[in-house]
Amino acid sequence: MQLLSSPTSPYARKVRVVILEKGLADQVELLPGVPLGSDADAAPVRAANPLGKIPALIRQGAPTLFDSPVICEYLDSLGHGPILFPHEGEARWSGGRDGEGEREGESVREQERESARARGRERERERGARA
Ligand SMILES: N[C@@H](CCC(=O)N[C@@H](CS)C(=O)NCC(=O)O)C(=O)O
């Protein structure tokens, strides 16, 4: 299996934690995923996930999985050790929420948008200086 991910994605980090906790590190190759890069950089992510997001888990001979809760539960079903995502009972409803990750994700996205705006302003200044 191959995981498209990045160090800054909280969703991808959650999946990497599951990979480690479930003893699957030797079965999952980590590949860089750049969802918000240039068309060329983002192409592998868009090819793997129609939503153009990371994480995405590419499986040999089976459809690619995307959306971190789905990926996490799938990996949980494969690996060793205690179940991390209970299937039933109170434990199912009291754990595994994505709220923290979403807040962190929004903060990362805002930083990326601000970097893109700063690069745009820099390019404008360079064009102005050359004119
Ligand atoms: N619900 C998704 C959210 C994934 C997500 O938003 N990933 C961000 C990176 S942290 C992304 O790929 N964003 C690209 C975009 O929104 O186009 C999950 O849990 O995997």
**53 CB near ligand 1 (under 6 Å):** yes
Q: How many helices (H) and strands (E) does the chain have?
A: 5, 4
Nearest CA among 63, 62, 64 for reference residue 53: 64
Atom of ligand 1 nearest to the CA of 51: 17
**33 CB near ligand 1 (under 6 Å):** no
Q: Do 22 and 75 form a contact (C-beta atoms < 8 A)?
A: yes
Strand partners, 31: 4
pTM for this structure? 0.79
Residues in the chain: 131
131 C-alpha vs ligand 1 centroid, how far in Å? Answer: 40
Percentage of residues of the chain with pLDDT beyond 70? 92
Other residues' Cβ atoms within 10 Å of the Cβ of residue 43: 13
pLDDT tens digits, 73-121:
999 999 998 999 998 898 888 765 676 666 666 777 788 888 889 998 9
